[in-house]
Amino acid sequence: MLGEFITRILLMILGYAYPALQCYKTIERRNKVDNAQLRFWCEYWIIIAMLTVLERFGDLFISWLPMYSEAKLAFVIYLWYPKTKGTSYVYETLLRPFVSEHETDIDQKLHSLRARVWDLAIFYWQNCTEVGQSKLFEVLGHLFSQPSKATDKKNALIELQGDSSKQRPKPSAPPLPPPNTFATFFSRSHKRRQSIAKTWTPPSPESVTSY
């Protein structure tokens, strides 16, 4: 597992990063551009593109082979290594004759495939747009409906509290005494004191001294 991971990293560096840097240097030279070198790197990227396309379909059948990643890494190095320069050989011997022979068929198939892919992309874009708009409206409706629901709950709670307060009996006040009760009481006590004062006689001095 670790060896495969390291092989993939080396493939990204040696198969893509380093050739891209060399191609950039070839294009951006201050002197006149070397057409042979530029053609070499164009052929290299054409081969890499073809391998990438074929690899997406062929990985299911050949990726299980032992040393598959290592063989792919060795082939990529073989393509650009200065002493081998396998790009020119592969392009002139294998790729160029095949493409020249089937160029018309390849153009027609790619043209029809591009039209179908474009129609399919437009179809999915329209459907995704409609679905996205409907989902957006649902989310906005849900967000805007939340405050009203909270207000309705609050109003319902207030109404319930009001109904419960109406049903709850109010505490009765203590009964007030009938009118003129205190006046009648004081008038009766005053008359009683007057009657006692009239009937009371002070004791005689003889009885006080004898006592």
Q: What is the predicted pLDDT for the residue at 19?
A: 92
Q: What is the predicted pLDDT for the residue at 79?
A: 93
Query: In angstroms, rounded to a whole number, what is the distance separating the alpha carbons of residues 130 and 132?
Result: 5
What does the domain layout of the chain look like in residue ranges?
Answer: 34-143
Using pLDDT thresholds of 50, 70 and 90, give the confidence band for residue 208.
Answer: very low
| Residue 67 confidence (pLDDT) above 70 | yes
- Check if the beta carbon of residue 85 is closer than 8 Å to that of residue 40: yes
pTM for the whole structure:
0.55
Question: What backbone torsions phi and psi does residue 177 show, to the nearest 5 degrees?
Answer: -65, 150
Query: In angstroms, rounded to a whole number, what is the distance separating the alpha carbons of residues 156 and 4?
Result: 67
C-alpha pair distances (Å), 159 with each of 23, 145, 146, 169: 79, 21, 20, 17
